[in-house]
Structure 1
Amino acid sequence: MHIWILAKRDKFDAYENVRFRDVAEKMEIMLTYIDPDECEIITTKEGRKSLYVGSEPTDELPDCVIPRTGSGTTYFASAVIRHLERLGVFVMNKADAVELAKDKLATTQTLASNNVPIPKTLLGKYPIDLSVIEREF
């Protein structure tokens, strides 16, 4: 099994990524860290050779991708995740889910619309209308 972990290069040696590496080694899983900012996407009919890592086309796609880009996920990182999804790679955290998780209000609205209990939440703007806060909270 071959797994890619998408993360910023400066996070490759973060504790959790080192733990991934240790466990993968024990389980004989091939693990590759990829910085999405070092990828190039080319849209083609062929598809398979449409992703470059560095200056080289990917000869083999992974069996699984684990995005670890967090709240710093850029448009480009999301595009890389989405591209891998379209190529049929199993992606642990889909691009749409990563984008949703970055937006606290959208996440709260999604949870509420699915009957998940949430705390009352206000999207405030400056200047804050104190009368709304007094009335609602």
Structure 2
Amino acid sequence: MKIYILSAEANLYSTRRLVEAATLRGHQAQVVNHTKCHVMMEQGKPQIIYQGAALERPDAIIPRIGASVTFFGTAVVRQFEMLKVLTANSSQGILQSRDKLRTMQLLSRVGLAIPKTVFAKFPKDKEVDDLIKRIGGTPVVIKLLEGTQGLGVMLAETPQAAKSTIEAFSGLKANILIQEFIKEAGGADIRAFVVGGEVVGAMRRQGKEGEFRSNLHRGGKSTVLELSQEEKMAAVGAARAVGLSVAGVDMLPSARGPLILEVNSSPGLEGIEGATQKDIAGKIIEFLELSLKKPKNV
């Protein structure tokens, strides 16, 4: 099988592990920098130009699209889809997961548990007071719609702090979500790694002291975790709702069960493989193998 790993950084841990896992299973793996691709369209002949030549059609691709190039990256993935190439994640799934509002709407629609969340266009002081009451009072979490790795996520301890933060973002014309704060989570969350409708690994991430965000990029620590059946079902359901076959699903433990926070289309492999000591990259390659073997009408 010929596999392209769409990644702007060939030396990243996740990219290297995917190449290694594919090679160990006897496949030909090539890193293609999607930001350097040119999408060529003409009648009945979609092409992708890379390094001065038309890319040979692969059997499958694994998109590792950074948030800052979502629009262009998904255009490249879509071009491969036009060529009927198997993709670990669809362009539509990637786009939906990158939009935090769309993700919350999809999860809510299928009945999955999420923190109470409000989206409003530049609310005024009195409106902010009402919205805060509707999600249970302060503290509240305020999120930029397209933040990643804990960036663009703030905790407002008081109504006045929330108003000041929202006013600042309104001045920048930035879209935000206002979300209830789950105190009992204690600065910890759960990352479940889903591949092909199955949880293949999970870890508990604990934020450093004084930090409510648990992201490893923010100094959080990870430990292996065995999920309950309820948590597994929530993670698999979340990935399915957003349209991803490969996903990192972030959940908060709460008094009312696991609450879905986010669904990531390009989850990092270093933290989950380090915590679980599992070959997660190999699971992704195995998923592609099985998908290619399925009859086309299945």
Fold in common (TM above 0.5): yes
8 A contact 2:35–2:73 mirrored in 1? yes
- 5 Å-filtered alignment, 1:33-112, equals 33-47=31-45, 50-58=47-55, 60-112=56-108
Moved over 4 A (4+): none
The 3 A distance-change label for structure 1 pair 130 and 47 is same
Which residue identity lines up with residue 6 of structure 1 in the other structure? L
Bigger CA radius of gyration: 2
1:118 CA drift (Å): 1.5
Bigger mean CA deviation after superposition, 60-69 or 71-80: 71-80
Residue 21 of structure 2: aligned partner: 23
For 1:84 and 1:68, the matched residues in 2 are separated by 14
1:3 aligns with 2:14: no
Q: Structure 2: which 5+ residue stretches go unaligned?
A: 137-298
1:135 CA drift (Å): 3.5
Count of aligned pairs between the two proteins: 133
1:126 CA drift (Å): 5.7
8 A contact 2:3–2:29 mirrored in 1? yes
Please give the secondary structure, in 2, of the residue aligned with 1:45. Answer: coil
For 2:94 and 2:21, the matched residues in 1 are separated by 24
Q: Structure 1: which 5+ residue stretches go unaligned?
A: none
For 1:55 and 1:99, the matched residues in 2 are separated by 28
For 1:109 and 1:116, the matched residues in 2 are separated by 10
8 A contact 2:4–2:29 mirrored in 1? yes
Which residue identity lines up with residue 3 of structure 2 in the other structure? I
Higher helix proportion (structure 1 or 2): 1
1:104 CA drift (Å): 0.7
1:33-77 deviation digits (Å, cap 9, x = unpaired): 1111111111123426x211121112x211001101142333221
The 3 A distance-change label for structure 1 pair 34 and 81 is same
CA RMSD of aligned residues (A): 1.7
For 1:68 and 1:7, the matched residues in 2 are separated by 5
With a CA cutoff of 8 Å and minimum separation of 6, indicate the structure with the bigger relative contact order: 1
1:132 aligns with 2:128: no
8 A contact 1:70–1:98 mirrored in 2? no
TM-score (structure 2 length as normaliser): 0.42
Higher strand proportion (structure 1 or 2): 2
8 A contact 1:40–1:54 mirrored in 2? no
1:97 CA drift (Å): 0.6
Please give the secondary structure, in 2, of the residue aligned with 1:122. Answer: strand
